[in-house]
Structure 1
Amino acid sequence: MHVLMRADVLMVLASAPAYVATREALSVFSPQDLTPLRYLASAALLGLYMFVRRQRVRLTRRDMPRMLAVALCGYGGYGLLLNFGQATVPAGTTSLLLNISPVFAFVLGYFILVERTTLRGYLGMGVAVLGVVVITLGDSTATGFQGNTLLIVAAALLLSIFLIVQQPLLARMPPVEVVFWGCLVGGIATLPTARFDPLPAQVPASVWLALTVLIVLGTAVAYALWNVTLARTSVAEGGSLLLVIPIFSVLLGWALLGEVPSMAAVLGGAAALMGVTMLSTATHAREQAGPGLLTGAIPIIAALPLVNALTGSITIISPPVPPVPPAPQKTEVAAGASRGDRIG
């Protein structure tokens, strides 16, 4: 029972229904409508929570550029790509594809930070990419994959960048406030794309229920618990449980939406999960350049140049250099005494 009360475990349980709820909501709402609706409603919910708790806002001017990058990558851009992709991609397959974000994280570290892994890690990266190819080129008539799987893959890329940029904020701001600003700014950024075609009276009860689950559980609660987990531990330690989410998502999609996974989804998804696990464990086993890993792929400290390029607002703190003691000098009195000795 104690394990079920952990923030990371609760995050998995809250995140798994999000993909199923998104698929149901997209049966009525367009991706452009669902994205700002999801995040602005979650921001209102979190803002009310902060108001009731009398939580003081800690966002400073120095952190605003980084917070803007977090909101645009992890909320606005990620949400739009995810919703456009899920218009045809099943819920379980979406969660499988999103878990290749550690591969993107490692590729960024490879070229920008000269980060390396073991042979097992490189093989795992290849297996994960092969799994994505199998899913993308699978039987589109049975599952509706088509080319929208590439949008999910692009969302996974934004997810990896988002986690790198966000990590330093969690040391200076409460996790819930980071989610609040991300939802608010990300929702406002995507608002101009919305059309809001369906009237409230035209939305069936099942879609309202799915929208409520997506806003409350899949966004406000899941994002907040994820940030609480990252604030308490490294991304590598907290991120391993993300690999469990697709299992629940596939089962929920099968049971609630009748989305029977195809052989391509099963084989490709298993290969992607196995490859990511190989990459994460192999890289985590190496001696790293600093504390905190991005899903076992990138040292957070080493990722500072990437964050600087994305936000332009970072200060690299170097270890203190011990002061050099000044060379001994003769005092005026001692010099006078020496002259006196010579005169005497």
Structure 2
Amino acid sequence: MKINTGNVRIYIFITIAMLCWSFSFIWTKIALESFPPLTLITLRLILASVLLYGFLKLSGRLQKIDKPDLKLFFALAFFEPFMYYVGETYGLTMVKPTLASVIIATIPVFAPFFAFVFLKERFTIINMLGIGVSIIGVYLIVYNTDGSETTSVIGVALVFLAVLSAIIYGLLLRKIPEKYSATNIIFYQSMIGLIYFIPVAAMVDLRLLARMVILRQSVQALLMLTFFASVIAFVLFADVVRKIGITKSEVFTNLIPVFTALLSWAIFKEMMNSFQWIGVFVVILGVFVSQSKNKKAGRPKSEDVR
């Protein structure tokens, strides 16, 4: 069979996007050594908004939001980036990057359930099995062989808040008119996200700024996080989704915990016990199981990952 070089390029692009998002867990952990969580998110959104605006303006692709669509965009930005980044970033102050990435990878597992409840989309036995397997995997990650707690339950709950926010974001995204390009949606949700973040960051982090020690590696991590995770990865992923669809694209999120585990081991020398590694593979198995029969079921339109 003749190889479609266009498809090869598409899969290279989406793999690069997944690699960038895998690095984002590492970069966030490093950036948090200097910046309080809300300050870090706010700076990330400011820089990403500037870069995206420059790209859209110079390319002549900047679109204006029609007044009737403003409420939808504000709701969209509330769940992502606002709630998603709060859950993910605060969660990373309490759990290892590898474990956080595994939990984030359950987004395509739980999304069909919410799509069934709110959009009446088909929900299969395979979906239920995938959710069950993933829950078992998360339990193994949180608890050690002797049943003692080894990972912050609050941290895990915060990362699951990010998962829930991403799913609701995906449901809302379906209602965004098709006339808006993916890059414009990402730009405006980042800009509106700042409206949520700036006042909250000012109230929560203001007293911490005087004691903040800026490290070079944290600044570098912030810049890498912004350029690669918030801009490049989103643009590549959005482009791929338009070409091969969200169902095929979501399968690639399974690469994120694998990449993050390898990066955490290489950079932080982060080690996990055997039960946690088993949990990682069980969660990934649950994701694959939930995906195996999804072609017949409707899927929520989503462009996140975070």
Length-normalised TM-score, structure 1: 0.77
1:88 is paired with a residue whose SS is coil
Whether the aligned pair in 1 keeps the contact of 2:143 and 2:151 (CA below 8 Å) is no
Counterpart position of 1:207: 218
Whether the aligned pair in 2 keeps the contact of 1:25 and 1:207 (CA below 8 Å) is yes
Q: CA RMSD in A?
A: 2.6
Counterpart position of 2:28: 22
What is the alpha-carbon distance in structure 2 between the residues aligned to residue 50 and residue 158 of structure 1? 27
What is the alpha-carbon distance in structure 1 between the residues aligned to residue 266 and residue 148 of structure 2? 20
What is the alpha-carbon distance in structure 2 between the residues aligned to residue 30 and residue 201 of structure 1? 8
Whether the aligned pair in 1 keeps the contact of 2:112 and 2:299 (CA below 8 Å) is no
Deviates more, 1:43-52 or 1:91-100: 43-52
* Paired-residue identity, %: 21
What is the alpha-carbon distance in structure 1 between the residues aligned to residue 272 and residue 190 of structure 2? 31
Whether the aligned pair in 2 keeps the contact of 1:66 and 1:165 (CA below 8 Å) is yes
Counterpart position of 1:43: 49
Does 2:269 correspond to 1:258?
yes
What is the alpha-carbon distance in structure 2 between the residues aligned to residue 201 and residue 90 of structure 1? 23
Counterpart position of 1:31: 37
Residue 128 of structure 2 is aligned with which of 122, 125, 139? 122
Amino acid at match of 2:191: L
- Counterparts of residues 329-344 of structure 1 (less than 5 Å): none
Displacement, 1:180? 0.8
Counterpart position of 2:79: 73
Cα 1:265–1:90 change in 2 (3 A) is same
1:62 is paired with a residue whose SS is helix
Deviates more, 1:51-60 or 1:248-257: 51-60
Structure 2 alignment gaps of length 5 or more: none
Q: Give CA deviations for 1:268-302 in whole Å, capped at 9, x if unaligned.
A: 12111111211121232x3x4xxx623xxxxx6xx
Deviates more, 1:165-174 or 1:186-195: 165-174
Q: Give CA deviations for 1:310-338 in whole Å, capped at 9, x if unaligned.
A: xxxxxxxxxxxxxxxxxxxxxxxxxxxxx
Q: Give CA deviations for 1:104-131 in whole Å, capped at 9, x if unaligned.
A: 3122133334544443332222101111
Amino acid at match of 2:184: E
Displacement, 1:21? 0.2
Cα 1:230–1:201 change in 2 (3 A) is same
What is the alpha-carbon distance in structure 1 between the residues aligned to residue 99 and residue 294 of structure 2? 26
Counterpart position of 2:286: 275
Does 2:233 correspond to 1:222?
yes
Whether the aligned pair in 2 keeps the contact of 1:36 and 1:191 (CA below 8 Å) is yes
What is the alpha-carbon distance in structure 2 between the residues aligned to residue 44 and residue 200 of structure 1? 28
Cα 1:113–1:165 change in 2 (3 A) is closer
Normalized per residue, the structure richer in helix is: 2
What is the alpha-carbon distance in structure 1 between the residues aligned to residue 148 and residue 35 of structure 2? 23
Tell which has more relative contact order, 1 or 2 (C-alpha 8 A, sep 6+): 2
Counterpart position of 2:58: 52
Q: How many residues align?
A: 291
Counterpart position of 2:170: 163
Whether the aligned pair in 2 keeps the contact of 1:33 and 1:193 (CA below 8 Å) is no
Counterpart position of 2:250: 239
Q: Give CA deviations for 1:167-203 in whole Å, capped at 9, x if unaligned.
A: 4537211221111111111122111122253469931
Whether the aligned pair in 2 keeps the contact of 1:37 and 1:187 (CA below 8 Å) is no
Displacement, 1:35? 1.5
Deviates more, 1:129-138 or 1:247-256: 129-138
Cα 1:34–1:76 change in 2 (3 A) is same
Cα 1:184–1:138 change in 2 (3 A) is farther
What is the alpha-carbon distance in structure 2 between the residues aligned to residue 242 and residue 69 of structure 1? 25
Whether the aligned pair in 1 keeps the contact of 2:35 and 2:212 (CA below 8 Å) is no
Whether the aligned pair in 2 keeps the contact of 1:4 and 1:10 (CA below 8 Å) is no
Displacement, 1:141? 9.1
Whether the aligned pair in 2 keeps the contact of 1:95 and 1:246 (CA below 8 Å) is yes
1:277 is paired with a residue whose SS is helix
What is the alpha-carbon distance in structure 2 between the residues aligned to residue 56 and residue 153 of structure 1? 34
Counterpart position of 1:314: none
Does 2:110 correspond to 1:110?
no
Instruction: Name which one, 1 or 2, has greater alpha-carbon Rg.
Output: 1
What is the alpha-carbon distance in structure 2 between the residues aligned to residue 20 and residue 142 of structure 1? 23
Length-normalised TM-score, structure 2: 0.85
Counterpart position of 2:158: 151
What is the alpha-carbon distance in structure 1 between the residues aligned to residue 182 and residue 119 of structure 2? 27
